[in-house]
Structure 1
């Protein structure tokens, strides 16, 4: 009995030693969730009062190869996310629809960056015109739009915002980019206004 417990203890210590030495860092085959750690803390909203977003995020990869690619490029991913989050306005991050737009837009931008750095520019170039449309929305969010594509977002039949309303971008405005990251999750999203 004592030998059995020692054997179990030895196996568990051996397993933890392998994890500590890096042997357990290889992604498992199948779906992997990769935490972006430490959490991102960025200022947003331009000059004036200091406001920040604290975001705990995770990316999903559908297989070990994609997870390895995502993990290898985490510094690039963090950089893209900091740029995207810091460009946000109060109007976007204060609504559920705005946060969903932000999540979908950030995922598309991450995949574009990963495809470009891995030399898959032809796929990223196919989406450049569409992504520029998404970037325009990111730059213009909170402003009035006269695009016919935005009629569903509270515009009159003439294509103008009704009653001077601010038209925010929606997740439907983002063209998805298929890449190593299959989804982005906001595990925790705190806004200090």
Structure 2
């Protein structure tokens, strides 16, 4: 029995030592190639301005194409969470009540995250876009709700939702953003 206890303790010690050595103390382990990085815990924010309290709960993952990009995104998760809280809290009920509005929000958030990541790493966004061949169709264009107004001749026109075409793509470490779960409490 004593020999069995010694064997178990030794095996546990080797397991712990190998995991410490494997981690190298250099931060999170990421796979080379595509990675999906969940933002945990889920974001819960107020939205819609003054009045009745309304909440969005969003479970989000960010996709990266390389291990290096995954390390950069993981390192800057506090900055990413901050940007997402600002973006989500600025939403209107009209924008988040439609599939088009949620898709616009997803693409817009991805562009804003990449801008923030490039800026914090000391890159000029316009220069980086030119160097990496980002879409130059809407250079300097800021998406606004004004750009997407519905014609006023409709008696009950659908709420105005900006078009994804209004968003200037920004190539950066985050290649995509996914809403794993998106819950709105009105």
TM-score by length of 1: 0.75
User: Cα deviation per residue 1:83-141 (whole Å; 9 max; x = unaligned)?
Assistant: 000000001111111000000000000001111111111436877x745522xx1xx3x
| Structure 1: segments with no counterpart, 5+ residues | 1-5
User: Cα deviation per residue 1:141-186 (whole Å; 9 max; x = unaligned)?
Assistant: xxxx3x4xx4xx7x5xxxx444263321122221211100000000
Given that residues 100 and 170 in structure 1 are in contact (C-alpha distance below 8 angstroms), is that contact kept between their aligned partners in structure 2?
A: no
Partner of 1:180: 173
Measured in 2, the distance between the counterparts of 1:188 and 1:180 equals 23
Q: How does 1:145-156 map to 2 (within 5 A)?
A: 145=146, 147=147, 150=148, 155=150
The reply to whether residue 48 of structure 1 matches residue 41 of structure 2 is no
Measured in 1, the distance between the counterparts of 2:140 and 2:42 equals 26
The total of aligned residue pairs comes to 171
Given that residues 18 and 24 in structure 1 are in contact (C-alpha distance below 8 angstroms), is that contact kept between their aligned partners in structure 2?
A: no
Relative to structure 1, the CA distance from residue 172 to residue 63 in structure 2 (aligned partners, 3 Å threshold; closer, same or farther) is same
Given that residues 62 and 176 in structure 2 are in contact (C-alpha distance below 8 angstroms), is that contact kept between their aligned partners in structure 1?
A: yes
Which among 156, 163, 169 is matched to residue 154 of structure 2? 163
Partner of 1:189: 182
Measured in 2, the distance between the counterparts of 1:15 and 1:161 equals 68
Measured in 2, the distance between the counterparts of 1:76 and 1:57 equals 14
Structure showing the higher helix proportion among its residues? 1
| Structure 2: segments with no counterpart, 5+ residues | 1-7, 131-135
The reply to whether residue 123 of structure 1 matches residue 127 of structure 2 is yes
TM-score by length of 2: 0.77
Given that residues 61 and 183 in structure 1 are in contact (C-alpha distance below 8 angstroms), is that contact kept between their aligned partners in structure 2?
A: yes
The reply to whether residue 94 of structure 1 matches residue 97 of structure 2 is yes
